Structure 1
């Protein structure tokens, strides 16, 4: 657990998107302040909360008590936990429940959970009555630094991850960094995969900082807040310049083309968490970059060493159970959203902090990287 005496004040990162601008609040105790934070956005004193079976017993009463303290009524839908929840049946269940609650376009829906809940509920809000407002209260490190910010919402398909969705920006994001104390070590580290990604794609100095401080984020609230806030600032800068992923925003997918294929190959199960897939994908992307002569051999070695030092999976051999052969994995990559005109697109790197998008990757190069990772 973290030291209560060292709890830092919340910080605010503004997302300047014109009439869809919003704030990301980052600090300890924000769940207990949720009523005060959300009240200014309400037209009537009621909200609909969607959460999951992991978060609900730990934190739902706190959230509803905080809302009630400000005179805000709430009803909650509790969905199953896990990546498989991002599906058509649960999207339908969520939308129909919100309609049963008579949620109107000017009301607010609260997505209270990790990235799965945030993506699913955000998509439900995007299509309900052609768009209702929603607030993200992310409860995992991964969701706080990545999926809760930027407006990407969606569900998975048997054909691939996040292939069905919409851009729908939240009204507010409340990232309570203290709630991360209740995560398992594995879930915390899975989120760290997305934190490391930000240093690798565009900020070498931040990666240097993570090499020194990454192992301390679990126990030091001030360092944790600093890492989360810096990640959010980086993402906000990219999203503001390229909201709908026409160019620069694609850099945020570093490690994801590999990672999404591996998640599909493992059936979106607990064999491989999303952030673990991203971490392995980042290591593979740097290995591929070095093989293509784009960066020095030192860069992939640093990536691998840091992930190992953090206790994270960093290679295919770290995934329990059997995996499909290389050709099948490469075919799964072909279902990725980033495919353009049938060409696989990868985020590669010229160095740590110097990522770029390329479609100049050959299947034999990919196969060699995958083989050496097994």
Structure 2
């Protein structure tokens, strides 16, 4: 078993990674939680595959499990679904000594995580991510949230889990597109850190290679993110580098209205921001081509017609990370050399240059 330790000032936990580990869920959870009532929350895609298996494992060691399910998709990251789940848990008598287990992809982790963060002002949480995107990104770090209208993750809280359980076997049931979009975040983290993870990413030539190297890709990606989170839990400084590709990516994702996956939008965002900064001489020549090579190898999108839409700048300007009238753009000096450039919000359009984005 591969274990990544996340040690924070007020809360520490392990990320445990092993093929087939889902069958040991009950034993693993009982190592960090005393017997209690568990809200096992999953979506309509994942629940038929794994919810009963996990519930049986938990009940075998004495936990009382209530299975909850919501419709799959980003649209469920809403105040309406949050209220529905909270109402159901209250009706089933959940109290502050009980816990939530989030079983599923990024939407489940964000939504169920925020249920745990807000129910009775916060109850215990365990994450069991089943998608590659959730395994290497959203399940670690404590970010939980729901969307409001077209603004992603605008209502949320930092709520660290007590344990993260990752079984690479769950990737076998993903559609290829879902697998590949998660790899976009791995490429992002490899470009930020260089070293062993970038070396491994350079060997990936197909979606099949992702599956074959899933354990090591997850371990190295999560270790990098854990190191960043441990240095900056609440995103006051260093943790902002994890937003590489996200400022433009989130704008394009919002305009796509569900037609682009998060990892696909981040791929487009990384290429766009790197091309812009490379032309300005702030990113080393050739970095964009290196990113394109790694993203294109598995079929991730490199650009989008939505970059032609003037509304993309309104989305960028109103990004939730806008602070005091400035937006921090994350870019690379070189592979393994992230940097932050603060730009006044009213200068974003001129700085990014729509002609560059339209390529």
Residue number in structure 1 paired with 2:56: 65
Residue in 2 that maps onto 1:15: 6
Partner Cα distance (1:68, 1:355) in 2:
46
Question: 2:105 aligns to what?
Answer: 114
Question: Where does 1:1-374 land on structure 2 (aligned, <5 Å)?
Answer: 10-213=1-204, 215=206, 216-220=208-212, 223-267=213-257, 269=258, 271-317=259-305, 323=306, 325-360=308-343, 362-366=348-352, 367-372=354-359
- Using the TM superposition, give the Cα deviation of residue 218 of structure 1 relative to its aligned residue in structure 2, in angstroms: 3.5
Instruction: Describe the superposition over 1:63-112 as per-residue Cα deviations: whole angstroms up to 9, x where unpaired.
Output: 11211222322111110111111111111112112212222212111111
Counterpart contact for 2:39–2:66, Cα < 8 Å: yes
Q: Is the 8 A contact 1:145 1:194 kept in 2?
A: yes
1:345 is displaced (CA, Å) by 2.0
Counterpart CA distance in 1 for 2:211 and 2:22 is 20
2:308–2:357 Cα contact (<8 Å) kept = no
SS at match of 1:102: coil
Inter-partner Cα distance in structure 2 for 1:21 and 1:41 = 11
Q: 1:44 to 1:209 in 2, by over 3 A?
A: closer
Cα distance in 2 between the residues matched to 1:274 and 1:115:
10
Cα deviation, 1:91-141, whole Å, max 9, x if unaligned, reads: 111211221222221211111110111011111111111110010000000
Asked if structure 2 preserves the Cα contact closer than 8 Å seen for 1:160 and 1:260, the reply is: no
Output the CA distance in 1 between the equivalents of 2:334 and 2:193. 10
Question: Which runs of 5 or more structure 2 residues have no equivalent in the other structure?
Answer: none
- By how many angstroms is 1:365 displaced? 4.1
1:108–1:133: 8 Å Cα contact kept in structure 2?
A: yes
Moved over 4 A (4+): none
Shift of 1:368: 2.3
Alpha-carbon distance between aligned partners in 1 of 2:5 and 2:300, rounded to the nearest angstrom: 31
CA contact (8 A) 1:295 1:351 kept: yes
User: What stretches of structure 1 of length at least 5 have no aligned partner?
Assistant: 1-9, 318-322
Q: Distance in 1 between matches of 2:238 and 2:205?
A: 26
Aligned mates of 1:158, 1:291 — CA distance in 2: 35
Tell me how far apart the structure 1 counterparts of residues 240 and 33 of structure 2 sit (CA, whole Å): 34
- Following superposition, the deviation at residue 204 of structure 1 comes to 4.8
* Counterpart Cα distance in 2 of 1:19 and 1:163: 25
2-structure distance, mates of 1:30, 1:107 = 23
Alpha carbons 1:316, 1:370 under 8 Å: kept:
no
Report the more deviating stretch, 179-188 or 197-206: 197-206
Q: Is the 8 A contact 2:204 2:297 kept in 1?
A: no
CA RMSD of aligned residues (A): 1.6
In 2: Cα distance, 1:296 partner to 1:18 partner:
36
Deviation at residue 219 of structure 1 after TM alignment: 3.9
Residues 166 and 214 of structure 1: is their aligned pair in 2 closer, same or farther, counting only changes over 3 Å?
Answer: farther
Q: TM-score, normalised by structure 2?
A: 0.94
If the length of structure 1 is used for normalisation, what is the TM-score?
0.91
Q: Tell me how far apart the structure 2 counterparts of residues 208 and 336 of structure 1 sit (CA, whole Å).
A: 33
SS at 1:43 equivalent = coil
Q: 1:82–1:308: structure 2 CA closer, same or farther, 3 Å change rule?
A: same
Other structure's SS at 2:31 match: helix
CA contact (8 A) 2:58 2:65 kept: yes
Query: Displacement of 1:324 after TM fit?
Result: 7.3
- Is the contact between residue 308 and residue 358 of structure 2 (CA under 8 Å) also seen in structure 1? no
Give the stretch that moved more between structures: 166-175 or 209-218: 209-218
